[in-house]
């Protein structure tokens, strides 16, 4: 990674710096000579650069010249960053921090103090950016921004300007990678604002920033705005003899934007721009032919588009001398996609096979290659289903899943998250479709097992997606140094693989082999010593039907749903049986689910219409799996939009309204694999710790919960423990007290955010410092060991991703921290009905009811009491759900123990009386 890093300042300031520290001209000349030699090699020869920097450091330390030492270590880090030597950067940071602490007073008296500290923060920001720790990277860069942005114009010299604009751009890039496009735009615009004032100084950088901002807008599909900035950058390059590669890149972006807005004439114009800037034998002629093929596809000119892609393929093969390469595979894949689009499956399959042949000789493919392999296998599996070759589709889907398991540890940011949804998730649907179609023909039970495997693997990907979304950076019981070492090694491996992919230098293979060995050894250590974290990040095993059936009780039935793009699959499993159903879906069905959720969430919605709609949903997705079964406990593994629907509130009888909860105790789980793990969890005890903060008369935007204090204290009628009310209900008390209790009850706002899941939180007592929110990422650093966590005032809504990510992320965080089960609500439910149902729920739990039965009876009691009034609406009662381990809580109710003692005493007295 080569960055403009102010080496010239370090070089030319040396005489002045030395002069401030010593009058020894021999020392000055010696240091200047060493700097000059170091600078010659800083980006060209690692060993020579390091050699001279070490000499400078030695001389400066001997002379107690801390400014020269800081300068040298700063320059050293620029070189280390260029050579991707993350270990050396880390060592230098430790030394620099020590120097800054030791010489703090003297440093603050120098005129270069701000530059020194900001240059160090820049290096730290770059280091953490490289290892994808964006939170720490932003922290370092924001220190530069906060100390520099308010400098007066005369104080803002070129060095400070470069550091400041670089900091804004890096922060923007981290937000872009995290999918926070609005924040990315804000920081790029700040950088542009400063650069435009200094236009004459660095016109190249300002246009590069225009281009980066345009990419953000393109990702948001704001194509018109995106074009404005791409055009600015392109105009600069054309007028100032910019590199042909930059011109081609900008023109290609503009071409794609105009294709997305169906402005084909404008797309043609930028195709000509690309062509006009390609000289004979230019290495990027294939870009032109691919771009032309896109335009021809948009014009439905299938034959000509294929000719252009074949020409691009030929040029790419020439570039790599017909040796196997990822670029060649990608070209074949594009041709396959063209044939798929124009309904030529045989030709598509032929090209997907040719694409995969590029990797057949590589026994240890890189992450880059594995990513391409997964995309191609996904496309191949889909086309095999089109050709009704279901057996082969299953084989290919299995290969894709093996590839996905290898890639799993490398997923880290929003780009990877989108890849999971666009490239990985369809693999599971292809496997399920093929398994279902074969099962219809053969009735082989093993195909249901195969379908269940795909469904469970899809759930593991959704949980991985939830982890990516939470941005959790700290984890309980695992040292930060281990996680950083893991990040560093992954980053080094990725960088080395990129170099090999670009240059094919055999010498790098040895380095890659050593790095992968180090990484494997580290993962073995993590698996041995930090099992929870290993399972979270690396374990790819899922439970099978036979193994899960061993966990089921005779009264249990599991309904596992897979919500695909084309169909919903339902796999029903009891102790001794299994079935599979398919229901084809379209946009109208998706909209119907959303309408049902909105009506459930609105107590004023028409109850008759709602009951009709939920009955239709019941008939399509539940009833077929419940035919001829006697089980009374339903475990739901929801998926997609079904995460928002309370199955308890589905109407099972169109003639006379009857809800599913009236016949079945219903619970939920994120996956069967996770549920199996949760059944093995045992809490520390069954004492209750209840929280009930007050949101009255505060600056908090959250509304008061009038009955939450009563709700929190009422639990103590049934279980021992304590309730923390109002000013006692603080985040600090939660952090210090929570691990001592087996039941945690939060009568507070739980705000679930599906679009930005890391912003999901629990709210504690508001305070002036505004540090009263427990975010989902914080849960990964807790040790709760609780039997039950209750969230009685959840607030959620269908997000743009429509997969219930807010709750998925929150639930996974609680489960990781040690919770065995979670009681929650699917929307913000009426406070009074919440009080009523929660009281009944805990009363039932104290009577040794299972958690699902306790909730069922609480809901039925509420329903039966309110049959003749408006509270019968499912809004008031159906949103309460229980997920995870539903086994009985061993009560610690004193009255129960007293009662048992009295009974035993009476029996003893009766025995004595009879004996006498």
pLDDT tens, residue by residue, 74-114: 889 999 999 999 999 999 999 999 999 999 898 888 888 88
- Average pLDDT, rounded, for the chain: 88
Q: Establish how many alpha carbons lie within 13 A of residue 704's alpha carbon, considering only the half-sphere containing its beta carbon.
A: 8
Look at residue 432 and tell me whether its pLDDT is greater than 80: yes
- What is d(CA 646, CA 633) in angstroms, rounded to the nearest whole number? 15
Residue 334: name the closest of 317, 320, 348 by CA.
Answer: 348
Query: For residue 400, what pLDDT is reported?
Result: 95
Whether pLDDT at 496 is above 70 = yes
Q: Which pLDDT score, from 0 to 100, does residue 422 have? A: 86
Q: Label residue 533 by pLDDT band (50, 70, 90).
A: confident
Confidence tier at 384 by pLDDT (50, 70, 90): very high
Please give the pLDDT value at position 702: 80
Q: What is the pLDDT of residue 867?
A: 92
Q: Rounded to an integer, what distance in angstroms lies between the CA atom of residue 733 and that of residue 689?
A: 10
Q: What confidence score (pLDDT) does residue 6 get?
A: 45
Joined together, the tokens standing for residue 441 give 């023909």
Question: 149: which 2 tokens?
Answer: 């942005």
Could you tell me which residue, 495 or 255, shows the higher pLDDT? Answer: 255
Round to whole Å and give the CA distance between 666 and 670: 14
> Distance (Å, rounded) from C-alpha 428 to C-alpha 409?
19
User: Which tokens in the block code for residue 677?
Assistant: 């793990």
pLDDT attached to residue 116: 87
Higher pLDDT, 320 or 898: 320
CA distance 692 to 713: 9
pLDDT of res. 717: 94
Contact between residue 522 and residue 489 where contact means Cβ atoms under 8 Å apart: yes
**Stretch among 385-389, 784-788, 801-805 having the lowest mean pLDDT:** 801-805
User: What is the share, in percent, of the chain residues with pLDDT greater than 90?
Assistant: 59
pLDDT value at residue 11: 42
Given the structure tokens 């709760």, which residue do they identify?
A: 784
Q: State how far the Cα of 281 lies from the Cα of 274, in Å rounded to an integer.
A: 14
Long-range contacts: 241-247, Cβ < 8 Å, 24+? 242/207, 244/277, 244/278, 244/279, 244/282, 244/284, 245/284, 247/273, 247/274, 247/277
Range list of H helices, 671-787: 672-679, 708-714, 731-737
- Which of 874, 809, 424, 476 minimizes the C-alpha distance to 662? 874
Q: Which long-range contacts (CB under 8 A, 24 or more apart) does 439-445 make?
A: 439/580, 445/578
Residue 2's pLDDT band (cuts 50, 70, 90): very low
Contact, 672 vs 543, CB < 8 A? yes
- Which residues sit opposite 290 in a β-bridge? none
In this prediction, residue 757 carries a pLDDT of: 77
Burial of 499 (0-12, 13-18, 19+ CB in 10 A): middle
pLDDT at 698: 62
pLDDT beyond 60 at 893: no
Q: Lowest mean pLDDT: which of 181-185, 451-455, 694-698, 843-847?
A: 694-698
Residue ranges covered by each domain of the chain: 1-116, 365-478, 557-668, 676-897
Is the separation of the CB atoms in 213 and 192 below 8 Å?
Answer: yes
Give 676-897's CATH code, choosing from 3.40.50.1460, 3.40.1180.10, 3.20.20.140, 3.40.50.150.
Answer: 3.40.50.1460
Instruction: Locate 914 and state its tokens.
Output: 């009879």
| The pLDDT of residue 4 | 43
* Ramachandran class of 697: left when φ > 0, alpha when ψ lies in -120 to 50, beta otherwise: left
Q: Is residue 566's pLDDT more than 60?
A: yes
Q: Choose among 58, 44, 51, 97: nearest CA to 74.
A: 97
User: How many percent of the chain have pLDDT more than 70?
Assistant: 90
The pLDDT tens digits of the residues spanning 872-888 come to 999 999 999 999 999 99
Confidence (pLDDT) at 808:
75
In terms of Cα–Cα distance, which of 281, 395, 376 is closest to 335?
A: 376
383 pLDDT tier (thresholds 50, 70, 90):
very high
Rounded CA-CA distance 613/651 in Å is: 8
In this prediction, residues 305-325 reach a mean pLDDT of 95
DSSP secondary structure string, 137-203?
A: HHHHHHHHHHHHTT--TTT--HHHHHHHHHHHHHHHHHHHHTT-HHHHHHHHHHHHHHHHHTTTT-H
φ, ψ for residue 909, nearest 5 deg: -65, -40
Q: What is the pLDDT of residue 750?
A: 87
Residue 898: pLDDT over 60: no
Q: Which pLDDT value is given to residue 516? A: 86
Contact between 877 and 837 under an 8 Å Cβ cutoff? The reply is yes
Lowest mean pLDDT segment, chosen from 555-559, 856-860, 896-900: 896-900
Confidence of residue 5 (pLDDT cuts 50, 70, 90): very low
Q: Give the CA dihedral 188, 194, 196, 199, nearest 10 degrees.
A: -120
> Over 50: is that where the pLDDT of 3 sits?
no
CA 55 from centroid of its chain's CA atoms:
45
pLDDT at 8: 39
197 falls in which pLDDT band (50, 70, 90)? Answer: confident
């Amino acid at each position: 990674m080569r960055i403009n890093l102010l080496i010239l300042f370090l070089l030319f300031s040396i005489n002045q710096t030395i002069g401030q520290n010593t009058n020894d001209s021999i020392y000055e000349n010696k240091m200047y000579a060493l700097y000059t030699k170091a600078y010659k090699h800083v980006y060209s020869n690692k060993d020579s650069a390091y050699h001279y920097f070490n000499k400078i450091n030695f001389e400066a330390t001997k002379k107690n010249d801390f400014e020269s030492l800081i300068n040298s270590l700063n320059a050293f880090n620029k070189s280390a960053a260029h050579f991707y030597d993350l270990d050396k950067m880390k060592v230098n940071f430790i030394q620099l921090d020590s120097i800054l602490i030791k010489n703090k007073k003297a440093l603050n008296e120098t005129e270069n103090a701000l530059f020194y500290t900001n240059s160090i923060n820049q290096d730290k920001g770059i280091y953490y950016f490289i290892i994808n720790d964006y939170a720490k990277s932003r922290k370092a860069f924001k220190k530069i921004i906060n100390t520099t942005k308010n400098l007066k114009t005369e104080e803002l010299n070129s060095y400070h300007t470069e550091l400041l604009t670089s900091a804004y751009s890096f922060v923007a890039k981290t937000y872009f990678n995290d999918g926070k496009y609005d924040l990315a735009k804000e920081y790029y615009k700040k950088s542009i604002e400063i650069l435009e004032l200094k236009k004459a100084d660095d016109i190249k950088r300002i246009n590069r920033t225009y281009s980066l901002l345009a990419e953000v807008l393109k990702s948001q599909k704001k194509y018109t705005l995106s074009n404005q900035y791409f055009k600015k950058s392109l105009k600069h390059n054309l007028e100032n003899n910019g590199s042909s590669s930059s011109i081609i890149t900008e023109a290609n972006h503009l071409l794609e934007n105009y294709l997305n807005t169906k402005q084909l004439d404008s797309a043609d114009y930028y195709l000509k721009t690309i062509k006009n800037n390609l000289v004979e034998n230019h290495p990027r002629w294939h870009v032109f032919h691919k771009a032309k093929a896109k335009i021809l596809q948009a014009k439905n000119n299938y034959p000509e588009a294929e000719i252009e892609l074949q020409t691009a393929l030929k040029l790419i093969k020439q570039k790599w001398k017909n040796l196997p390469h990822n670029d060649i595979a990608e070209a074949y894949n594009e041709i396959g996609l063209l044939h798929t689009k124009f309904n030529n499956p045989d030709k598509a399959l032929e090209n997907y096979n040719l694409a995969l042949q590029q990797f057949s000789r590589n026994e240890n493919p890189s992450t880059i290659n594995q990513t391409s392999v997964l995309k191609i296998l996904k496309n191949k599996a889909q086309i095999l289903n089109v050709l009704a070759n279901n057996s082969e589709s299953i084989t290919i889907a299995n290969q894709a899943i093996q590839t996905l398991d290898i890639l799993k540890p490398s997923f880290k940011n929003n780009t990877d998250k989108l890849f999971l949804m666009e490239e990985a998730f369809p693999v599971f649907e292809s496997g399920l479709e093929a398994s279902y179609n074969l099962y219809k023909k053969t009735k082989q039970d093993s195909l249901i097992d195969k379908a269940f495997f795909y469904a469970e693997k899809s759930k593991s990907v959704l949980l991985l997606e939830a982890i990516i979304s939470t941005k959790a950076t700290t984890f309980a019981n695992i040292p930060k140094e281990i996680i950083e070492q893991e990040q560093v090694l992954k980053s080094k491996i990725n960088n080395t693989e990129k170099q090999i992919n670009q240059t094919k230098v055999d010498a790098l293979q040895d380095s890659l082999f050593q790095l992968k060995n180090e990484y494997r050894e580290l993962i073995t250590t993590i698996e041995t010593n930090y099992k929870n974290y290993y399972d979270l990040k690396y374990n790819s095993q899922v439970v099978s039907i036979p193994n899960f059936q061993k966990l089921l009780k005779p009264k249990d039935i599991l309904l596992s749903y897979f919500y695909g793009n084309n169909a919903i699959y339902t796999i029903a499993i009891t102790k001794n049986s299994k079935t599979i159903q398919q229901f084809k879906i379209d946009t109208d069905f998706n909209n119907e689910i959303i309408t049902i959720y909105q009506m459930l969430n609105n107590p004023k919605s028409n109850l008759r219409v709602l009951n009709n709609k939920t009955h239709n949903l019941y008939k399509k997705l539940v009833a077929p799996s419940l035919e001829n079964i006697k089980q009374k406990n339903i475990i739901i593994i929801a998926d997609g939009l079904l995460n928002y629907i309370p199955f308890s509130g589905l109407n099972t009888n169109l003639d006379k309204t009857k809800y599913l909860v009236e016949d079945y105790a219903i619970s939920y789980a994120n996956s069967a694999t996770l549920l199996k793990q949760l059944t093995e969890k045992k809490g520390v005890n069954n004492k209750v710790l209840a929280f009930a903060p007050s949101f009255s008369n505060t600056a908090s935007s959250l509304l008061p919960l009038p009955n939450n204090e009563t709700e929190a204290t009422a639990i103590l009628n049934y279980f021992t423990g304590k309730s923390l009310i109002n000013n006692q209900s603080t985040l600090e008390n939660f952090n210090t007290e929570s691990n001592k209790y087996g039941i945690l009850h939060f009568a507070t706002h739980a705000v679930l955010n599906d679009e930005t899941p890391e912003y999901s939180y629990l709210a504690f007592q508001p305070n002036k410092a505004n540090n009263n929110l427990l975010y989902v990422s914080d849960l990964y650093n807790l040790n709760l060991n609780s039997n039950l966590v209750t969230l009685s005032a959840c607030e959620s809504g269908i997000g743009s991703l429509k997969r219930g990510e807010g709750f998925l992320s929150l639930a996974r965080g609680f489960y990781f921290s040690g919770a065995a089960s979670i009681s929650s609500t699917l929307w913000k439910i009426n406070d009074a009905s919440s009080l009523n149902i929660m009281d009944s729920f805990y009363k039932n739990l104290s009577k040794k009811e299972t958690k699902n039965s306790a909730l069922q009876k609480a809901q039925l009691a509420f329903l039966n009491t309110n049959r003749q009034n408006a509270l019968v609406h499912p809004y008031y009662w159906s949103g309460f759900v229980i997920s995870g381990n539903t086994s009985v809580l061993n009560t610690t109710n004193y009255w129960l123990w007293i009662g048992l003692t009295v009974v035993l005493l009476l029996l003893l007295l009766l025995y004595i009386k009879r004996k006498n």
